Amino acid sequence: MYSIRTRLTLWYASALAVGLVLFAAAIWVSTWQSLRTEADRSLQIEHQHLAQFLREQLSDARVNLREELAEFAQALPDGTSMEARSLAGALIYSDASAFPWAKTHAANELRPGVVTWKGDRYQFLRSPISVEDLRFNVVFALSLGSMDRTLQRLFWLMVGSIPAVLLLSCSGGVWLSRRALKPVDEITTAAKSIGIEDLSQRLAVPKTGDELQRLSETWNEMLARLEDAFGRLSRFTADASHELRTPLAVIRSTAEITGRRSRSEEAYRSALSAIASESERMTALIDDLLFLSRCDANNLDLPMGPVPLDQVLRDAQVLLSPAAAARRIQLHVATGEPGCTVWGNEAAIRRLALILGDNAIKYSHDGGYVHLTGERRGEQVFLRVEDKGIGIPHSDLPFVFQRFYRGANAREGGNNGFGLGLALATGIAERHRSAVRVTSSPEAGSSFEVAFHRSPE
């Protein structure tokens, strides 16, 4: 494929060539026309002069017509010849022998024409002259040799100068486009040198206020986004590996220590159950990671349909009850309008309610309250989970939705979550064209809310 520079030059050269040829043709045709008209006019003037001359000469006394014609012919401009014949065709006078009289138009036609005579082209005008009782035909012929030579010179001048002009302007065009596109080459070279390991590099931005400045700025913005995304991805991978190492280390050390010597059946059972529970934790973590990576890759298969929110909340209540009961926490469910449906994926919305409900229980004081509410407002239905628990410090609020982020309150409380719950909840909400909103303070507890749409639009 040709470079932009070559394509620009080729387009420019073709357009210029067509323009120049048309321009030259127009000049040539208009010169040819005006020279022909000029020749024509001069013959007609000679014709009028002759009629006038004869009228003056013949008015006094009868003079010899042939002599008068010869006298007139002498005064004709260079390159003009004259021949006169009677109406019957008999030669009266000719200043050029054997002029091809027969090839000229018939009398009574004041129509000019062109004949070739002795290798030269002649423009002629044949027409009758009648002065008093004298009637005869006369033909004036003007040699077109000089006109033809002028036109030929013009033609060769154009044929010679068009390629020269084309060559000059194309070299100018190449030089200009090279100059104009040089910064693009520089940007390309700079962009090539930026690898995945040095995404912090930025392109130099030319302060020209034009497309190239915007191009560099856009590149830099894209690099910043890439750097941010890549940074998050690396952190995510590092955190995920770290989280997976812990249960793996427990499994490995339990198996090693237990196997070092023979033990009681009970000891084996307890070791195996520790291994099973760590494996379960690992499986849960891997499931969460898989879900998040599918969310990122946008290939999460979530068939959508009408979901009865009241039923989802009641299911969540049943599933959360044992954990709530263990800490004497009262779990209230207000399902709102009975039969009210939202548009979404039932399993995903149930999972979202469980994540938020589970957090509310985890971060509540023993004997506290947790409310799960479904509430319709216009075309939206809100799922809200509130607790009067330990709340989230103001400084932690911007980070709680980040993957693997666990607030100081969570670490102090000894909760062993992975810090992925709210990230999963966000992923689910986003698939429902929504977001998770939070209001929380250590004094008042927390409230998480997600708005669902009632229909697919």
Rounded least distance, CB 448 to ligand ADP, Å: 7
How far from the centroid of its chain's Cα atoms is residue 379's Cα? 38
Q: Which residue is nearest to ligand ADP (CB)?
A: 417
254 beta partners: none
Residues shown for the chain: 457
- 331 lies in the binding site for ligand ADP (CB under 6 A): no
Instruction: Categorise residue 77: left if φ over 0, alpha if ψ from -120 to 50, beta otherwise.
Output: beta
Kindly tell me which of 104 and 446 has the beta carbon lying closer to ligand ADP: 446
Rounded least distance, CB 338 to ligand ADP, Å: 27
Rounded least distance, CB 230 to ligand ADP, Å: 22
369 beta partners: 330
Instruction: Count CB neighbours of 57 within 10 A.
Output: 17
State the Cα–Cα distance between residues 357 and 385, nearest whole angstrom: 6
Rounded least distance, CB 416 to ligand ADP, Å: 8
Q: How many residues bind ligand ADP (CB under 6 A)?
A: 23
| CA nearest to 382, candidates 292, 313, 456 | 313
- 142 lies in the binding site for ligand ADP (CB under 6 A): no
Rounded least distance, CB 407 to ligand ADP, Å: 2
Kindly tell me which of 359 and 434 has the beta carbon lying closer to ligand ADP: 359
Rounded least distance, CB 252 to ligand ADP, Å: 24
| CA nearest to 323, candidates 361, 371, 353 | 361
Amino acid residing at 221: E
CB neighbour class for 97 (10 Å; exposed up to 12, middle 13-18, buried from 19)? exposed
Q: Residues 395-434: x/- map of binding to ligand ADP (CB under 6 A)?
A: -----x----xxx-xx----x-xxxxxxx-----------
Kindly tell me which of 112 and 419 has the beta carbon lying closer to ligand ADP: 419
Q: Are 58 and 132 in contact (CB under 8 A)?
A: yes
Q: Which of 104, 137, 143, 359 binds ligand ADP (CB under 6 A)?
A: 359
State the Cα–Cα distance between residues 159 and 338, nearest whole angstrom: 91
Q: Which of 352, 391, 436, 449 binds ligand ADP (CB under 6 A)?
A: 391
Kindly tell me which of 169 and 409 has the beta carbon lying closer to ligand ADP: 409
Rounded least distance, CB 424 to ligand ADP, Å: 8
State the Cα–Cα distance between residues 362 and 272, nearest whole angstrom: 27
Q: Which stretch in 87-95, 172-180, 330-338, 382-390 sits in contact with ligand ADP by CB under 6 A? A: 382-390
Instruction: Record the tokens describing residue 154, joined without a space.
Output: 């013009």
Rounded least distance, CB 395 to ligand ADP, Å: 11
State the Cα–Cα distance between residues 98 and 93, nearest whole angstrom: 11
Kindly tell me which of 13 and 285 has the beta carbon lying closer to ligand ADP: 285
Q: Which of 131, 307, 349, 392 binds ligand ADP (CB under 6 A)?
A: 392
Rounded least distance, CB 233 to ligand ADP, Å: 18
State the Cα–Cα distance between residues 231 and 237, nearest whole angstrom: 10
State the Cα–Cα distance between residues 68 and 77, nearest whole angstrom: 17
- 389 lies in the binding site for ligand ADP (CB under 6 A): yes
What 399-402 contacts at long range (C-beta under 8 Å, 24+ apart), as own/partner pairs, is 400/438, 401/426, 401/436
Kindly tell me which of 113 and 417 has the beta carbon lying closer to ligand ADP: 417
Instruction: Record the tokens describing residue 231, joined without a space.
Output: 């940074």
State the Cα–Cα distance between residues 433 and 455, nearest whole angstrom: 11
Q: Are 404 and 418 in contact (CB under 8 A)?
A: yes
Binding site for ligand ADP (CB under 6 A): 359-360, 363, 387, 389-392, 400, 405-407, 409-410, 415, 417-423, 446
